[in-house]
Amino acid sequence: MRINLFLNKKDLRNSDLFPAIMDYFRRIDKFVKINIYYCLNSKLFDQSDSYNINISIDGEYMDSIEFSNIIRFKSMDRIKNINIVFGTSNLYHNICFVCFNVDIDLLFLIVLEQIYRSYKIINNEPYHK
């Protein structure tokens, strides 16, 4: 499985959170491959083996356990791509992890942390050291 993240922002390298973002990429890499796209790739969205999630403040609030269940069940359903988009409507599933507006860089970091936490839950590994 791959997780594809779609951002409306040009680049994350100028962010103050870039070191933390890279740390989560390193942690997640042992569980799943993650791709970042800076524009929507309609080919990935139209595939029958893709599941699309929108991250929006208007979405359904979801905790780590619920999010890990989505990843677990979609991988069992033979879904090859989970596409996570920030702020786009008309997708299969609209969710939120925070109930207030945050900067896109911080939201991106929160989503990475939730992906990492989900795989730790799925693999019955402790999250906190």
Best CATH choice for the domain 2-122 from the list 3.90.1150.10, 3.40.50.410, 3.40.1280.10, 3.30.360.10: 3.40.1280.10
DSSP sequence for 47-104:
-TTEEEEEEEEEEEE--HHHHHHHHHHHHHTT--EEEEEES--SSSEEEESSSS---H
pLDDT at 57: 83
- Sketch the domain layout of the chain as residue ranges: 2-122
Supply the pTM of this predicted model.
0.89
What are the tens digits of pLDDT across the range 6-61? 887 766 766 788 899 999 999 999 999 999 888 766 677 777 888 989 898 888 89
Render pLDDT for 56-114 as a digit per residue (tens, 0 to 9).
888 889 999 999 999 999 998 889 999 998 866 666 688 989 888 888 888 999 999 99
- pLDDT at residue 63, as a whole number: 93
pLDDT number for residue 88: 67
